[in-house]
């Protein structure tokens, strides 16, 4: 996977220095470039500006639109985890509230959509286990081979004093601080990793580690150049040159008077006209439409402003329009589940370090498509299936129930109160 750094074995100082150098040289600049596109700070390559002429630099926020649509569709409703053991389900629900895991998942999903990778860090304090999202422009994973190879270590970088780059190497056994001087690393004093598992966890958008708009940045550039150039031409029309024919005696005073009075006196046989560039508005409009359509189609993103994307579309028609983004969502679900398993393993290690004999790794994740729902029709369908479906299965299919185990516990508690 292009997001990871490959090492032949456990990284020593030399290997770590080479890995940091490769990350800073190749991976970080690409991730920063994609974040620039997301923030609308990408360059508009129109060529050298000409003095005295308009030089608009418009940036259409397609990358942001693509990311928000994909992330909202995938994780707008947080995934629910179902456990066979009630104690594990209750503890995960408590951790979800304490750590605000739905927020963490959504932040990770946005990182995945932008640059193809995201990172979560888990650590233990006296008060309990903690988790947070880390900037993917500062983190990378080290593996022994390509995708699927075991994770050997992970690295997080941060700015030190006087422009120095510092970082931490996370392995299953140690936490090793280090300093990077541009050519190699100096290792600090290592600490024991009390969790005994790598606490900096990589997540990936897909098996290629690519972001959702990465393949269409060239089309976005072309769209920005087209819009910027079109606006330049429109402003040039407003500031067009006035050509005078047969008016050889015209002085600067005559021009100043014409500007003031908006009246131009022409001599016999003289004429005046503006010199403007002929704009083919129809061709420009068609090119703009084709570029916009290509950007959305090739990024598998539905155009929510499309007049055909209406509320009166049939269910089959709507599914067909969402077919592209549904394929992307399915790939996201598979790779996000892999990262989620790693996160649950580290949370389990943290819980056991706190003295709680709990295993969170057995949770089965269910992801929900964040779509407008006909709740009455859904409730009617599930009610009709209640004789053949368990209560847990019915609750798992209700998008507004985010904690199935907690809902089952509440239902059982209500039944106990009624019986009393």
Residues 410, 351 within the same domain: no
Please write down the long-range contacts of 143-147, taking CB distance under 8 Å and 24 or more positions apart.
Answer: 143/1, 143/4, 143/5, 143/6, 143/7, 144/6, 144/7, 144/8, 144/9, 145/6, 146/1, 146/4, 146/6, 147/1, 147/4, 147/207, 147/209
Q: Are residues 246 and 366 in the same domain?
A: no
> Residue 34 falls within a domain, yes or no?
yes
Average pLDDT score over residue span 259-288: 71
Q: Which of 86-95, 206-215, 301-310 is predicted least confidently?
A: 301-310
Does 194 lie in the same domain as 63?
yes
Is residue 141 classed as helix, strand or coil in its secondary structure? strand
42-56, 233-247, 382-396: which is most confident? 382-396
For residue 291, being part of any structural domain is answered with: no
Q: Is a pLDDT exceeding 60 seen at residue 189?
A: yes
Question: Is 251 in the same domain as 135?
Answer: no
For the segment 285-296, the average pLDDT, to the nearest whole number, is: 93
Residues 368, 392, single domain; the answer is: no
Give the model's confidence band at 183: pLDDT under 50 very low, under 70 low, under 90 confident, else very high.
Answer: confident
| 203, 132: one domain | yes
Q: Indicate whether 379 belongs to any domain.
A: yes
Q: Measured between alpha carbons, how far is 313 from 310 in angstroms, rounded to an integer?
A: 6
Is residue 195 located within the same domain as residue 52?
Answer: yes
- Using 50, 70 and 90 to split pLDDT, how confident is the model at 386? confident
Residues 263 and 392 in one domain: no
Judgement on whether residues 386 and 245 belong to the same structural domain of the protein: no
Specify the higher pLDDT residue, 69 or 378: 69
Q: How confident is the model at residue 181, as a pLDDT?
A: 87
pTM, two decimal places? 0.82
Which tops the pLDDT comparison, 191 or 10? 191
Residue 62 domain-assigned (yes or no): yes
Q: b/e per residue, 18-57, with b = 16+ CB within 10 A?
A: ebbbebeeebbebbeebbebbeeebeeeeeeeeeeebbbe
Same domain, 358 and 386: no
Confidence at 283, pLDDT banded by 50, 70, 90: confident
Are 146 and 255 contained in the same domain? Answer: no
Residue-range definition of the domain harbouring residue 388: 375-420
- Shared domain for 147 and 251, answered yes or no, is no
277, pLDDT greater than 70: no
Q: If pLDDT is split at 50, 70 and 90, which confidence band does 313 have?
A: low
* Domains in the chain, number: 3
pLDDT given for residue 332 in this prediction: 96
């Amino acid at each position: 996977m292009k997001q990871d750094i490959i090492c032949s074995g456990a990284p020593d100082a030399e290997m770590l220095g080479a890995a940091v150098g490769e990350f800073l040289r190749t991976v970080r600049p690409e991730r920063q470039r994609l974040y620039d596109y997301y923030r609308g700070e990408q360059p508009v390559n129109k060529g050298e500006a000409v003095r005295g002429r308009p030089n608009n630099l418009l940036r259409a926020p397609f990358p942001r639109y693509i990311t928000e649509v994909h992330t909202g569709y995938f994780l707008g409703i947080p995934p629910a985890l179902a456990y066979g053991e009630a104690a594990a389900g209750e503890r995960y629900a408590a951790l979800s509230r304490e750590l605000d895991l739905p927020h963490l998942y959504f932040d990770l999903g946005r990182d995945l959509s932008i640059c193809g990778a995201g990172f979560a860090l888990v650590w233990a304090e006296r008060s309990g286990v903690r988790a947070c999202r880390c900037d993917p422009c500062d983190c990378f994973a080290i593996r022994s081979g390509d995708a699927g190879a075991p994770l050997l270590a992970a690295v997080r970088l941060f700015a030190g004093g006087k422009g120095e780059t510092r970082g931490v190497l996370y392995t299953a056994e140690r936490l090793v601080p280090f300093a990077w001087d541009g050519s190699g690393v100096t290792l600090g004093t290592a600490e024991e990793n009390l969790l005994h598992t790598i606490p900096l966890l990589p997540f990936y958008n897909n098996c290629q580690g690519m972001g959702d708009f990465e393949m269409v940045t060239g089309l976005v550039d072309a769209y920005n150049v087209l819009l910027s150039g079109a606006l330049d031409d429109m402003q040039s029309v407003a500031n067009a040159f006035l050509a005078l024919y047969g008016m050889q005696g015209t002085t600067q005073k005559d021009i100043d008077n014409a500007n003031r009075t908006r009246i131009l006196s022409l001599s016999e046989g003289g004429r005046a006209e503006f010199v403007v560039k002929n704009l083919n508005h129809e061709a420009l409009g068609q090119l703009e439409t084709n570029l916009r359509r290509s950007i959305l189609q090739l990024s598998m993103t539905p155009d929510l402003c499309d007049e055909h994307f209406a509320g009166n579309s049939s269910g089959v028609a709507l599914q067909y329009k969402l077919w592209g983004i549904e394929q992307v969502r399915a790939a996201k679900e598979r790779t996000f589940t892999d990262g989620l398993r790693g996160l649950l393993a580290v949370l389990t290690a943290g819980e056991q370090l706190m003295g709680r004999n709990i295993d969170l790794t057995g949770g089965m994740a269910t992801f929900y498509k964040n779509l407008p729902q006909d709740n009455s029709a859904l409730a009617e369908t599930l009610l009709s299936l209640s004789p053949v479906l368990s209560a847990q299965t019915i609750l798992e299919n209700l998008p507004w129930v985010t904690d199935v185990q907690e809902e089952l516990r509440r239902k059982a508690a209500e039944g106990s109160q009624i019986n009393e």
